[in-house]
Amino acid sequence: MIEEKKVLTRHADSPGMIDVKNYIKDNGYKGLEKALEKKPLDIVEEVKKSFLRGRGGAGFPTGFKWSFIPTDKTKPHYLICNADEGEPGTFKDRVIMENDPFLLIEGMTIAAYALQADLGFIYIRGEFKWIAEILERAIQDARKVNMLGENIMDKGFDFDLIVMRGAGAYICGEETALIESIEGKRGQPRIKPPFPANSGLYGCPTIVNNVETLASIPFIAEHGAETYKLMGGFQAAGTKLYGISGHVNRPGVYEYPLGTNLKDLIQYAAGGVRNDKKLKAVIPGGLSATILKEDEIDIPMDFDSCVKADTMLGSGGVIVMDEDTPIPEIALATINFYVHESCGQCTPCREGLAKIQQILKILLAGNGTIQDIDTIIKLANTIDGTTLCPLGEAGGAVIRAMIKKFRSEFDALVS
Amino acid sequence: MSTSTLPQNKDAVTYTLDAKLVSNIEKLADQFPDKHSAILPALHIIQDEFNWIPPESVNQLCDILDTTPNKIYSVLTFYTMFHTKPVGKYHIQVCRNVSCSLMGASNLIEHLTQKLNIQPGETTPDGKFTLSLVECLGACGNAPVMMLNDRYHENLTADKIDDILKSLE
């Protein structure tokens, strides 16, 4: 059996937590209170020591990212919360924002103090309009109780937040595309370097962190890095929200220590494959994570273990497929997504993915050849390493893995 | 996402922003370090008002935010949520991504095309319904999912869709 650990979801079942008074009554803002007693750089150090890694997908160590912000402040600093939850299979950040908006706001306020940020943005996907409204109300309430705005908690620290809605572009989850979007431009990724920590929003030092990452900060600030590290495993500290969808008995978002076994998550958290069917395949970390076969899922769900298994933890969005699932059709649904969401800036992504889509359609219509299957693999190989952001590469790589692992199903389309 | 082929009735309606909306957008622009950051939020406000982004409103927005139609159109055509043509009074957007597909989205799409007698991307002749297919709406745990205007409808079945459509008659 596996044991749930409720840090980020401790208020998920308490509907009253969208009221700041209830949040404070339930030990809310204890982390901020402690943080404001310390020096900003001490908080950066504490987060570094906690081994917290970014929960948006890339898994970059959060404290390390924060330490890139210049300490001699010559320009405004900005903090951005990436709430553009759009990776297919991912529906976790909304659980925090809908049920416990002050946890995110507190986390952002602590982060802003550590980074000496003047202003923060919550960039939320446009479709989540009602959640944006919850956040806006929460921000107003936090200002009323002196937890946002000027002289927060009478400690002389000023910080405020703006909620900004995207408008249906997945690519704006990429941090430089997100920054472009806040600047009122097309959401196209920038060439890096410079990295946002040096030159981000409006050319100023900027840190972009995912909702779940920022919501983990109050616990670390209140209880310390050592206590945080007690949850999870080596180089895999803390808890993780796993969103499990597809052919399972109990789809949903579950919080477990980082490194919880994937097989156990599917079996115990989500109640196993539904309708007494056998498991066929799992996409473990959002659509951009390489597919795993039934016999490949006995792995700890943390960043390094997933890389070892030739896939990635990504956002922790687990998509489960039963024995009746036709993988070539899943491949088409997958490539449709990447073609639709390619920003069009890099030719290998824009053209390569569209070509893969075209060939898959031909194969599924029964008009393909064996060579077509190999051409898809060649196209995916060509995209590798030739784009500004990971979208194109991910789109090609996941299709390539589906073909390699389920080759007979693709071959059957041409025989 | 391509949207409707609805004929534009250019004579009947004026698509200019009234003083209140203009003032809302001006206030919005003031909160940002750079007022061009107000382009996306302003487009949301305009679309909330008209259900699409009429060219007249874009011209007004240029005056408010001190920019050009070229700049605004380059932005608004990038984002699939903004419509450069009118959509139906009820815009139905069905997710067709992997989790929703696994849970039977294609049957529901088929059901909707039959019920509404239009294909995805089309609007009913009376201008009431537009049907679109979209990629992941971030509700995979409650798949299959669709949006009806601003609202999510989750754990969909054909029966539920029938009830929803009936409630709109």
Q: CB distance B141–A287 less than 8 Å? A: no
Q: CB distance B140–A245 less than 8 Å? A: yes
Of the candidates A62, A350, A335, the residue with the CA atom closest to the CA atom of residue A189: A350
Q: In angstroms, rounded to a whole number, what is the distance separating the alpha carbons of residues A287 and B35? A: 35
ipTM value of the model?
0.94
Enter the tokens of residue A290. 């390489």
Using the Cβ of B29 and the Cβ atoms of chain A, whether some distance falls under 8 Å is answered with no
Q: CB distance A244–B141 less than 8 Å? A: yes
B40 to chain A, closest Cα gap in Å:
6
Mean local confidence (pLDDT), A59-66: 97
Using the Cβ of B62 and the Cβ atoms of chain A, whether some distance falls under 8 Å is answered with no
3-state SS, residue A320: strand
Residues of A in contact with B33 (CB under 8 A): 76, 119, 202
Q: CB distance B138–A127 less than 8 Å? A: yes
Between vectors from CA A199 to CA A169 and to CA A393, what angle results, nearest 5°?
Answer: 45
Q: Which residue of A has its CA nearest to B138?
A: A91
A22: pLDDT strictly greater than 60 = yes
Mean local confidence (pLDDT), A221-231: 96
Question: What type of residue is B26?
Answer: E
Q: Which of B62, B65, B98, B155 has the highest number of chain A CBs within 10 A, making it the mutation to test binding with A?
A: B98
A39 to chain B, closest Cα gap in Å:
27
pLDDT in tens, A290-303: 999 999 999 999 99
Using the Cβ of B132 and the Cβ atoms of chain A, whether some distance falls under 8 Å is answered with no
Read off the pLDDT band of B14 (50, 70, 90): confident
Select the more confidently predicted residue: A14 or B66. B66
Q: Which residue of B has its CA nearest to A339?
A: B135
Stated pTM of the model? 0.96
Quick one: which H or E segment has residue B77?
none
pLDDT in tens, A81-120: 999 999 999 999 999 999 999 999 999 999 999 999 999 9
CB A237 within 8 A of CB A258: yes
Query: Which alpha helices (H) appear in A59-128, and where do they start and end?
Result: 62-66, 93-99, 101-115
pLDDT in tens, B104-148: 999 999 999 999 999 999 999 999 999 999 999 999 999 999 999
A223 to chain B, closest Cα gap in Å:
32
Mean local confidence (pLDDT), B48-67: 96
What's the start-to-end Cα distance of chain A, in Å?
A: 45
CA A21 to the chain's CA centroid? 29
Per-residue three-class SS string for A354-388: HHHHHHHHHHHCCCCCHHHHHHHHHHHHHHCCCCC
Using the Cβ of B155 and the Cβ atoms of chain A, whether some distance falls under 8 Å is answered with no
pLDDT score for B11: 52
A414: pLDDT strictly greater than 60 = yes
Read off the pLDDT band of B3 (50, 70, 90): very low
Enter the tokens of residue B48. 């909330």
Q: Which residue of A has its CA nearest to B70?
A: A185
Beta bridge partners of A243: A253, A317
Mean local confidence (pLDDT), A45-64: 96
Enter the tokens of residue A291. 């597919």
Please give the share of chain A, as a percent, with pLDDT higher than 70: 100
Residues 6 or more apart in contact with residue A257 via CB below 8 angstroms:
A3, A5, A231, A232, A233, A238, A239, A240
DSSP B9: -
Mean pLDDT of chain A: 97
Q: In angstroms, rounded to a whole number, what is the distance separating the alpha carbons of residues A225 and A211? A: 19
Of the candidates A369, A85, A110, the residue with the CA atom closest to the CA atom of residue A216: A110
**Separate counts of helices (H) and strands (E) for chain A:** 17, 12
DSSP A263: H
